[in-house]
Structures are given as C-alpha cells and as structure tokens.
A and B are shown apart, each in its own frame.
Chain A
Amino acid sequence: MKTFKGYRRADGSIGVRNHVIIINAAGELASLTKKIAQMVPGVIPVVHQAGQSHSQEDVEQTKKAIIGTAGHANVSAALFLGMGLDDSTNEIVEVLKMRGHSVHCIHLNKSTLISEAIKESKLWLEQALEKSKKEQRVTADIKELIIGLECGGSDAWSGITANPAIGSFSDAIVKDGGTSILAETTEAVGTEHILARRAINETVGQRFLDIVKRYEERARAAGEDIRVANPSPGNKTGGITTLEEKSLGCIKKGGNSTLMEVIDYAHRPKEKGFIFMDTPGYDVESVSGLVAGGAQIVLFSTGKGSPTGSPIAPVIKIGTNTNLFKNMPEHIDVNTGKIMDSNYSIEDSGEEIYRKVIDVANGEVTASEKHKNQEFSIWRLAETM
C-alpha cells in the first residue's frame, strides 16, 4: 500500500497542507483582504473579483468555488470578509461550520469601523495560526489523493513528453485506487468521441458529449468557432495535422483509464478513478476549479514556463523540454524533456512524477509554492449586471 502523511480534517478529508487563509466574499474587499494577510505572517490571502451583480448561474458557481476553497482539506482555518446583507457569506460560513470546518466571518458594513474589523481579523487569524501549528500529520492511503491535471503555456513537445508522462502517472494512481481529474473542456474539442468511448457507461459518455457541445455553443454565441480556429497555422508548422491530434495531445494527461464521472466546475467527484471536470482552458480559472473540487495537488505541464500556482494547493510544474528546465530552473519541478534527450521512457517519467507527488504530499515545497504564486480566479459564465 502506498501512503503519505497528511492532516486529517473533521469532515474526514485529508489535506497535504495546513493553511490558514483569509478570503473575500465580494470583489470590493480584495485589497483589504490582502492587507490583513500581510499583517499576520503565515496567513494566505485568497482574493478574487467575483461576488455581486452577476447572473444567478454565476452567483451559484462562485458560491460553490468559495465553499470548495475555504472548506478544502489543505485549509486548517478560513476567515471570510463579507459585505453584510448583499452577499452569500453567512450562508457559506454556515455550510462550512456544519461540516466541522474552522471558519469565521467579519462583515464590513455601515456599522463597522474598518480599524475594528482589522483588529478582530488579526486576533482571529493569530489564534487560528497557533492552533494550526499544533496539528500533526497522520498516515493516509494514496487512495485518498485527488490530483488535478492541467496544462498552460504549451509548446510542440507538450503532447509528446509531459502530457503522456502525466497520463502514465494518472493511470498508475488510478490503478492504486486514487483519483485524477482532467479539465479544460475547450482543449478536448475534437476528441469528445474518443473520451466518451472510454466512459464507464453511456450516461457518463453522453454527459461528456453534452458539456463539449454546451461549451462550443457558448463560444459560438461569442463569435468564436473552436473547430475552425484549430489546428492553427502555427500548430501545423509545429507538426500538428488535425484537430483530433491537437486535442489528443491535451487529453493524454488523462492516460488511458476508464472515465468514471463527468463533473461541473468546482464540484467534488463522487467516484474514484479518472474524472473529467468542465472548466475553461484558461489555466488560472481551471486550476481554481480543480482545487475547489477537492484536488489536493495539481500537476501542470508547461513548455513555456507558465508560473501559475494556487493559494492553497501545491502545483507541480512538469516541464516539456530540457532547455526550459535549464533556462527556468526555479519554475520547473520535473523535467520530462529527458524523454527526448536520452533512453528515458514515458513510463520512467510517469514514475518520477509519482515519486514527486508523494514527496509533495508529505510536505516537500513545489517551485510555485516557493515563489508564492497564488493565482485564484473563478470561471464566469455570463455578463456582469
């Protein structure tokens, strides 16, 4: 049995980090959230622009993403800054408290002095930090790990080295009883029939076909046709021949395992094994959705060195080529360019990624964590009112 040491939470989940965070419930409080975090070293600010004057669909999506983030297994305690009656903070905090999470909410409204709110925030955060330091790691089965699979700043080698290596890892952890979540619906266009064929049953397969269709319709309404734009002339010069080939290069991060479930943005998987989450291709929104859905660690392949991280989950950067690894050593955790340079197979690289995942689960700091790359953004579906 493969194991790691993590933090056991009241709701039964297991985290690989023990963060104390402060999060804003509305975009208006983003700066204050950052400011308070700076006053209490060790506290992580989770800031975003979402919250108000959005469509009902977006309000629900934001709520889901915030509950998933603040109630994440990697979070020891979370402080919310809210605006009072106009936002969903109270509702969110109640849900999280019922699940046993350590959360608290401070409202900024006409009866609150900002200086008082800051004082109260600092006090609560300092106490939460003290408490978090006493929490100990305990042994857990690898089956409890959920790994998000992402790519950003791709190059001609992404589909040849890093993505198949991540796919080899994904198959291995699924075989060991763990979970991997592939994302980026827009990058899967052209392979929907292939992924749907890998589904455990017709319902799951059809659901995958449906989310791709929905995504394309939304893009078309905005004047974009994903199938006409791909593969681009640049892709063709790089050796990509068909749309199917381009998308296969992306979805190969999901290896060859059976597709067990297709979930909405920021939703938690109910099944174990290989899962697909409906997210945009934009890496910051996609990673935020994967983490809100419960991914404790994210694997992120890049050919150009995209530094995107997450405030609460370690993001492991998988470089596609050795030049990148040499030029940006501070940004890359695993170099799959070795597959091109030497007698090193995709499977060897997959095993190296697996070892890295276990080390990171046990507390090893990733490049993106070292640099405090803490991007967070929630996918928006409609217009702002």
Chain B
Amino acid sequence: MEKKYNALRLHETDNVAVALENLKTGEKLVVQGLDTEIILQINIPYGHKVAVSTILQDQKILKYGECMGIATEDIPAGNHVHVSNVRGLNEEDKTAVFLKGGVVG
C-alpha cells in the first residue's frame, strides 16, 4: 500500500506526533488527519516525538490525549520533543491532573 504520512498523532488533542521513520531536517512533516505545512527544524529519529504546534515553556506535552510531561523551554513546531526540553510531572502537577483533568497551560 502507498505510504501517505511519516508521523502519527495518537489523539486529536495531542501537540506532538511520533516519527514513523528517521526524519530529516527540511523534510515536510505529514501527519494523518492534520493539515499543516510544518518543515522539520532538526532530524527526528523514528519513534521519537516532534512538536506539531508551538509549545510554550511550562505548557503540557499531550500524547495519547493525556499529559505526559511539561515543556522546560519554548518548543517551536517541527522540533524534537524529548528529555532536553521536557520534564516529568511533579506531585503538584499530578494533583492538578487528578482534580481538574489538566495542569497549567
């Protein structure tokens, strides 16, 4: 079957997509069900995450429609989202997720 896209967004509210192959700087990001013109700012290894919209510092990283971490700096669309710019949740964040369904941002 013809391959139509190179990254997968697991939930419609996610701000990251997962690279389905090794993606190269300058390549166009093609995500199923998402109509954007994002050009990759950096190489993204397969299985790794790429921002599909600009994520500001302290905003939540959404994957599977859930908060999986907090951005530690501004991450422009098309950039790698990983350990250098994301932290896990602390107890305060978790309480916020548990009580309100989300954290700040």
Do these two chains really belong together in a complex? yes
Q: Are the CB atoms of A343 and B32 closer together than 8 Å? A: yes
Residues in B with CB closer than 8 Å to A243 are: 88
**Stretch from B2-10, B34-42, B51-59 forming part of the interface with A:** B2-10
Q: Are the CB atoms of B8 and A340 closer together than 8 Å? A: yes
Residues in B with CB closer than 8 Å to A190 are: 88
Q: Are the CB atoms of B4 and A343 closer together than 8 Å? A: yes
Question: By DSSP majority rule, is chain A's interface helix, strand, loop, or mixed?
Answer: helix
Would you give the shortest CB distance from A358 to chain B, in whole angstroms?
Answer: 25
Q: Does A164 sit within 8 A of B, measured CB to CB?
A: yes
The one of B47, B89, B95 in contact with A157, judged by C-beta atoms closer than 8 angstroms, is B47
Expressed in whole angstroms, the Cα–Cα distance for A345 and B63 within the complex equals 16
Would you give the shortest CB distance from A228 to chain B, in whole angstroms?
Answer: 12
Would you give the shortest CB distance from B103 to chain A, in whole angstroms?
Answer: 10
Would you give the shortest CB distance from B12 to chain A, in whole angstroms?
Answer: 11
Residues in B with CB closer than 8 Å to A242 are: 68-69, 86-89
The one of A241, A338, A342 in contact with B68, judged by C-beta atoms closer than 8 angstroms, is A241
Q: Are the CB atoms of A341 and B1 closer together than 8 Å? A: yes
Residues in B with CB closer than 8 Å to A196 are: 98
Q: Are the CB atoms of A241 and B66 closer together than 8 Å? A: no
Q: Are the CB atoms of A241 and B69 closer together than 8 Å? A: yes
Closest to A246 in B: B68
Expressed in whole angstroms, the Cα–Cα distance for A270 and B33 within the complex equals 39
Residues in A with CB closer than 8 Å to B98 are: 193-194, 196-197, 205
Q: Are the CB atoms of A241 and B83 closer together than 8 Å? A: yes
Q: Which of A197, A241, A245, A252 has the most CB of B within 10 A?
A: A241
Closest to A155 in B: B47
Expressed in whole angstroms, the Cα–Cα distance for A159 and B4 within the complex equals 21
Expressed in whole angstroms, the Cα–Cα distance for A157 and B82 within the complex equals 17
Interface size, chain A (Cβ < 8 Å)? 33
Closest to B82 in A: A241
With A160-B8, A239-B49 known as contacts, the answer to whether A197 contacts B97 (CB < 8 A) is yes
With A194-B97, A197-B97, A341-B1 known as contacts, the answer to whether A241 contacts B10 (CB < 8 A) is no
Would you give the shortest CB distance from B76 to chain A, in whole angstroms?
Answer: 17
Q: Does A339 sit within 8 A of B, measured CB to CB?
A: yes
Would you give the shortest CB distance from B50 to chain A, in whole angstroms?
Answer: 10
Identify which of residues 315-350 in chain A touch chain B, using a CB-to-CB cut-off of 8 Å: 338-346
Binding site for B on A (CB under 8 A): 156-157, 159-160, 164, 190-191, 193-194, 196-197, 205, 236, 238-239, 241-245, 248-249, 252, 256, 338-346
Known A197-B98, A241-B82; 9 more pairs at CB < 8 Å: A191-B66, A196-B98, A236-B83, A239-B82, A241-B68, A243-B88, A244-B67, A343-B3, A343-B4
21 A-B pairs, CB-CB below 8 angstroms? A160-B8, A160-B10, A160-B18, A160-B47, A190-B88, A191-B66, A194-B98, A205-B98, A236-B83, A238-B47, A241-B68, A241-B69, A241-B86, A242-B68, A242-B88, A244-B67, A244-B68, A252-B10, A256-B65, A343-B1, A343-B3
Q: Which 4 A-B pairs have the closest CB atoms?
A: A342-B1, A239-B47, A239-B48, A242-B88
